[in-house]
Amino acid sequence: MRKLLVLAVVLLAFAFSASALPQQPSQAAPTPAPQAPANQNAPKPQDQSPPAQIQGPAPPTITSTTGLVHLVATVMDHHHEFVTNLEKSDFRILEDGQIQEIAYFGRETDLPLRIGVLLDTSNSIRPRLEFEKEAALDFLQSVIRRNKDQAFVMTFDNEPDIIQDWTGDLALLTDAIRKQRAGGGTALNDAIYRATDKLISPPLPKGPNAEIRRVLVVISDGNDNLSDHALSDSLEAAIRAEAAIYCVSTNTDWLSISGDKPHKMHLEPGDEVLEKFSVQSGGRVFYPYKVEDLAQSFTDIGNELRSQYFIAYRPSNPQPNGKYRTIEVQTDRKNLDVRTRKGYFAKPTEAANPLVPAAK
Q: Distance between CA atoms of 97 and 93, rounded to whole angstroms?
A: 9
Residue 214 has pLDDT above 90, yes or no: yes
- Written as one letter, the residue type at 303 is N
> Strand 263-264 vs strand 91-95: parallel, antiparallel, or unpaired?
unpaired
- 3-state secondary structure (DSSP) of residue 162: strand
Inside any domain, residue 268: yes
- The whole-number average pLDDT for the span 95-123 is 91
Residue 240 in contact with residue 356, Cβ under 8 Å? yes
- Counting the structural domains of the chain, the total is 1
pLDDT of residue 132: 86
- Candidate from 8-12, 82-86, 226-230 with smallest mean pLDDT: 8-12
H-run or E-run covering 312: strand 309-313
Nearest Cα residue to 298 out of 309, 284, 312, 310? 284
pLDDT of residue 6: 41
How many CB atoms within 10 Å of residue 349? 10
Percent of the chain residues topping a pLDDT of 90: 55
Inside any domain, residue 135: yes
Output the CA torsion 133→139→142→144 (10° steps). Answer: -100
Residue 151 in contact with residue 116, Cβ under 8 Å? yes
Q: Distance between CA atoms of 130 and 264, rounded to whole angstroms?
A: 22
How many Cα atoms within 13 Å fall on the side-chain side of residue 23? 3
What 8-state DSSP symbol labels residue 7?
H
Backbone angles phi, psi at 160, to 5 degrees: -75, 150
- The whole-number average pLDDT for the span 177-191 is 95
pLDDT of residue 93: 98
Q: Distance between CA atoms of 24 and 21, rounded to whole angstroms?
A: 9
Percent of the chain residues topping a pLDDT of 70: 77
- Candidate from 2-11, 42-51, 137-146, 183-192 with smallest mean pLDDT: 42-51
pLDDT of residue 66: 62
pLDDT grade for 65, boundaries at 50, 70 and 90: low
Residue 106 has pLDDT above 80, yes or no: yes
Inside any domain, residue 30: no
Residue 78 has pLDDT above 60, yes or no: yes
Geometric angle at alpha carbon 324, from 323 and 330, rounded to 5°: 140
Residue range 243-286, pLDDT digits in tens: 999 998 988 898 988 777 788 999 999 999 999 999 999 999 99
| Total length of the chain | 360
pLDDT of residue 108: 65
- The whole-number average pLDDT for the span 125-152 is 89
Residue of higher predicted confidence among 151 and 7: 151
pTM of the predicted model as reported, rounded to 2 decimal places: 0.76
The residues with which 338 forms a beta bridge, in sequence order, are 75
Average pLDDT, the chain: 81
Contacts of 140 by beta carbon, 8 Å cutoff, 6+ apart: 115, 117, 151, 170, 173, 174
- The whole-number average pLDDT for the span 292-317 is 85
pLDDT of residue 33: 45
pLDDT of residue 139: 86
Contacts of 110 by beta carbon, 8 Å cutoff, 6+ apart: 306
Residue range 35-54, pLDDT digits in tens: 444 444 444 443 333 333 32
Residue 225 in contact with residue 330, Cβ under 8 Å? no
Residue 5 has pLDDT above 80, yes or no: no
pLDDT grade for 109, boundaries at 50, 70 and 90: low
Residue of higher predicted confidence among 93 and 5: 93
Strands lying side by side in the sheet with 98-100? 98-100, 91-95, 324-331, 343-345
Inside any domain, residue 47: no
Inside any domain, residue 146: yes
Could you tell me how far CA 120 lies from the centroid of its own chain? 26
H-run or E-run covering 19: helix 2-20
Inside any domain, residue 296: yes
Distances (CA, A) of 333 to 74, 87, 157, 309: 14, 11, 45, 15
Inside any domain, residue 17: no
Residue range 323-360, pLDDT digits in tens: 999 999 999 999 999 999 999 999 764 433 334 333 33
CATH, residue 170: 3.40.50.410
Residue 128 has pLDDT above 50, yes or no: yes
Beta-sheet strands, E only, within 260-347: 263-264, 285-286, 309-313, 324-331, 336-339, 343-345
pLDDT grade for 16, boundaries at 50, 70 and 90: very low
Inside any domain, residue 13: no
H-run or E-run covering 301: helix 294-305
Domain extent, residue 278, equals 110-306
pLDDT of residue 52: 35
